[in-house]
A and B are shown apart, each in its own frame.
Chain A
Amino acid sequence: MDDLTTENLLLNFLIYFPLLAGFVVLLLPSEEKNLIRRLSLIFSLVPMVPVLMLWFAYDRVDAGMQFQMMMPWFETIGANYHIGVDGVSLAMMLLTAILTPLAILASFNVEERPRVFMFLFLVLQTAMFGLFASLDLIIFFIFWEFGLVPMYFLIKFWGGKDRDYASFKFFIYTMAGSLGLLLSIQVMGLSMGTFDIPELMRLWPNAEPTLPVVGLDTGTVKMLAYFAFLIAFAIKIPVWPFHTWLPDAHTQAPTAGSMILAGVLLKLGAYGFLRLVVPLFPAWAYQTAGLLATLGMLSVVLGGFAAYGQWDFKRLVAYSSINHMGFVVLGIAVYAYVYGYAFANQGMVPGEQLTGDAILATSGAVLQMFNHGLSAAAMFFMVGVIYERAHTRDLKKFGGIWAVMPMFGALLIFASMASLGLPGLNGFVSEFMIVRGVFGAGFLIQIGLSMIGLLMTGAYILKGIGEVLHGPLKPEWKDLTDMTLREHLVMWPLMILILSLGVWPRWLLAIINDTVSHWF
């Protein structure tokens, strides 16, 4: 084992600090609610420091996996503790580091057992950081599954009135989805003799016709394993038609839970596509790129229509997540097409134009992941703000809220516009990049049809704003109070980031772009 560098230690500290902090919080006396909240907030802010240090230490010229460390973990089966980061995982870690403290700040008003609540959040943070850093399939799987547990209990304990059903569905859906993943990982690791992701990226696509050790036909295994991976991650994103758990989970989850669920957890699925599905199965990815693009398009369109059909404000935002993540899938489809091009066409290299489009679309997808993380968190938080005051999310019952809550109205419009993809705000940049890239790669029908979804985005966003803010003020709402300082503190960082990415996306896009260019 090589000597550990400072960056290795930072990376490990980043991953495990929230977990340890969670146990510290658990040890606090349960009556000291304010202490618990403040301490948890401080603890959740700590990882920001190592994330930024790694961010600035990252060598963008090299742009590959950096700060790697590897040590034996479970030697009998050949699993190593192998972690490392590149630009994409750093971007996702930054998102996690930003959203977790905000989610914790947003849940300062949780009165019921805040200790356990904060503990679960900090555990969740560890699971997310660990997943973005893991470079061994088993380690990846551990963090992948483990993130389920805190989220399950967050929904289960602090959710709405159908929380039992929603949390159960969330858990079993994801777990069943990862069953195929588990089995595929086993076969791949067994036959290639390693679970190391970079190693597998080299070995697995070039496996012999009959797999060593297990003696199965490689073609069949690859096909089954590809679809197992695809489904596991597609459920998480979620891609139509695997999305049905999401509106239930979101509607029932507490506000902070929804923020993290939409903000980061959905990105785990897309991250899995970028890190595992396409690099490990390039030939299949190439062949199914059209299918992926179609599913992405359907997510965009149907998600948009479904969102427009909702009268529950939170459900509307939940469906908008499907709509927005559909664009990520469209971007991934181009990545799959161009990355797998050489594998499927006997080493023929894709043209420079095509590669350029792919880099554009893939960077756009990563940026869209980040952007959606920000705007979805903002939207869910705004829904939470109004729900706490009005105790309803029924759009039909609202009306004219702007008159009594002017700041709320302004911020809601800002968040909605970000979600809408208004030029000048973040969503526009990434969606434009994706559309441009997909267009160049030739998925014309898909991208053309997905414009209907974009139209629907406008429609449901305006519907949400209109029903809540405009119209005559209903008498029952005239006593609503405007946003508190704490609520402002949650929103402003998000809004600043949204605006900064809209006007000067380069600060984030540069590191993503370098890494993505390195992939091709």
Chain B
Amino acid sequence: MEFSFPILSMITLSPLLVAVIILMLPEERGENARMLGLAAMVFGLVLSLWMYITYYINLEDVSGVLWEDTLMFMETYEWLPSIGINYIVGVDGLSATLVLLTAFVGVGGVLISWSVPDRPREFFAFFMLLVAGVHGVFVAVDAFLLFFFYELAVLPMYVMIVMWGWKERREYAGMKLTLYLLIGSFISFIAFLVLYFTPLADGSTIGTFDLRAWAEVDFPVQAQIIWFMPLFLGFAILSGLWPFHNWSPDGHVAAPTAVSMIHAGVLMKLGAYASMRVGIQILPIGAVYWFPFVILLTLINVVYGSLIAMRQRDMKYMIGYSSVSHMGLVSMGFAAMNVEGFVGAGIQMVSHGIMTALFFAIVGMIYDRAHSRNMDELSGMRHVLPLPTFAFVLSGLVSMGMPGLSGFIAEFPIFMGVWRGRGINIEGTFGGLNPADFYSIVAIMSALGIIITAAYVLRAINDVFLGEYEPEKWHDMRPIMAIDKVVLISFGACLVIIGLFPGVIAPMIESGVTPVVERLNDAQLQDPFTVLEAVNNVTTDLLAWFGGA
């Protein structure tokens, strides 16, 4: 489909432009920064909504088993054609949904930080940069562009945490987050470059960064098996896969509210999205080989994450760890390797994005007023903050997977996918692990996470919002502003709408993940290697390349 209007570039680059304009404002007019920021975000939201609806209407025309066929709103400009790097953007069903999510959370983030006291100009400029980076990753079809925007999203995170974050932890957390993410993307990038130079079956190399070509090419089995883990894990770090989740709760806690919202709401989805689009789609055989092992990590994510969340007394840490637990479900959906799992994972990304953003918005409101996030100190908040209480209960119910809300719509297919994943019989996967042996056990055990989640969410509601209210204890207590209400109500409404009418989002996501699932289905693990054999082969090849051996 041809669309002459460069809608994706507009969505992605308009925040960048606004960031520049904001920085050029004279310092005494810093107040105007937020208006400009809001204008840019609303502009992006309107465009993304239009884009989403257009895609939804044309869903039947753009569905297919090839990723290329599902892309819409393509734009192609030459950039560095000699090495195969071009500016190519486009969206499939999943990324269209995630772009909309980003735009939505972006508006929420600006509204929540409406009264940032300290250097608002710089704050909003960096925020714009962050949103632009996130949008860019979702729309990028060229791998180089994807990595470019990926780094672009991490940089403002660091600055914003260190400058506007929670004073006690911000340097540490900002540094930790940045190092983790940069090392992760570095690992992925190395794996990507290796594959770029890996000879294919006909002896040539791929010679382009266009992911559409990558999505159809079959890399040699041994390269897939070796390089899948680096490629996948590098991105999966950003989605909080255990044991590389550690940066995430610290980052959440230290970040200012709006950044936490973007961070948990969207940034972690960036990792999941990229690990799927780049990791799984490019190396399906590697995925099939490693996923029976990866699913064990995701199981730890889900159960251990929720157990750790239960131990927390700081609200932000609790939500941070619950994010780890919920993002584990996303990776688990991928590791199920079938359409239910992937659709569930996609819906979970959206559901968790909205839910966690809402959580952090509420915690931010409480912290602004009580100057504490300690659940032992807080109590009776419902007397002063009735709407936030309602919203917190709602997102709490979503996070425990209450039927009728979006969390259930996401978790149910994921678990179904894991059950079905048991049906695939692949001999000789990682260390001889056969999915048939334990996928059903994984499904049963991860369901325990639901109960633990229910327990800590109920306890948090009980400690913070219910109970006695002591007016003399809080000197800065005031009702929330009207714009805060807008955020709470619109976010809450989304959770309910997705929960009651999954049809508004599920077909989009299904269309977006179908190409990846098809790649996985076609991935036959002929003549499987063990890891040691594969490493041995590669070493021999490398030595031969250097002229030795």
Binding site for B on A (CB under 8 A): 72-77, 138, 141-146, 149, 156-157, 164, 168, 171-172, 175-176, 179, 182-183, 186-187, 189-190, 213-216
Contacts and interface: CB of A to CB of B under 8 A. Distances in A.
Contacts of A172: 451, 454-455, 458
A33 B387 CA distance: 20
B423 A213 contact: yes
Nearest to A179: B447
Contact of A73 (B413, B423, B502, B510): B502
Interface string B404-443: 1000110011011001101101000000000010001001
Contact of A214 (B402, B412, B420, B506): B420
Contacts of B343: 76
A179 B402 CA distance: 12
Interface in B13-36: none
Given A75-B506, A172-B451, A183 B415 contact: yes
B194 interface: no
11 contacts: A74-B506, A76-B502, A77-B412, A77-B413, A142-B403, A142-B404, A175-B454, A190-B416, A190-B420, A214-B423, A216-B440
B450 interface: yes
Contacts of A146: 402-404
Given A171-B454, A183-B444, A149 B412 contact: no
Nearest to B502: A74
Contacts of A157: 466
Contact of B451 (A77, A145, A176): A176
B502 A183 contact: no
B462 A164 contact: yes
Interface in B477-521: 502-503, 506-507, 510
Given A142-B404, A179-B450, 5 more contacts: A75-B507, A142-B403, A183-B415, A186-B419, A216-B422
A191 to B, nearest CB: 9
A78 B419 CA distance: 15
Interface in B370-429: 397, 400, 402-404, 408-409, 412-413, 415-416, 419-420, 422-423, 425
Interface of B: 339-340, 343, 397, 400, 402-404, 408-409, 412-413, 415-416, 419-420, 422-423, 425, 436, 440, 443-444, 447-448, 450-451, 454-455, 458, 462, 466, 502-503, 506-507, 510
Contacts of A179: 447-448, 450-451
A182 B400 CA distance: 13
Contacts of B397: 149
B201 to A, nearest CB: 33
Contacts of B422: 214-216
Contact of A213 (B420, B443, B458): B420
Q: Specify the main secondary structure of chain B where it touches its partner.
A: helix
Most A-side CB within 10 Å, residue of B450, B458, B462: B458
A172 B459 CA distance: 12
A74 B409 CA distance: 9
B448 to A, nearest CB: 8
Contacts of B447: 179, 182-183
Contacts of B339: 76
A138 B404 CA distance: 10
Given A138-B412, A146-B404, A183-B444, A171 B458 contact: yes
Contacts of A214: 419-420, 422-423, 440
A215 B338 CA distance: 15
Contacts of A141: 403
A149 B404 CA distance: 11
Contacts of A75: 503, 506-507
A116 to B, nearest CB: 9
B506 A76 contact: yes
Contacts of A164: 462
B419 A156 contact: no
Contacts of A190: 340, 416, 419-420
B444 A76 contact: no
Nearest to B424: A215
A253 B440 CA distance: 39
Contacts of B340: 76-77, 190
A140 B54 CA distance: 34
Contacts of A142: 403-404, 408
Contacts of A145: 402-404
Contacts of A77: 340, 412-413, 416
B458 A168 contact: yes
Contacts of A176: 451
B413 A187 contact: no
Nearest to A140: B403
A19 to B, nearest CB: 10
A213 B408 CA distance: 22
B419 A187 contact: yes
A215 B416 CA distance: 13
A186 B416 CA distance: 6
Nearest to A185: B412
Contacts of A149: 397, 402
A179 B411 CA distance: 13
A76 B510 contact: yes
Contacts of B510: 76
A190 B404 CA distance: 20
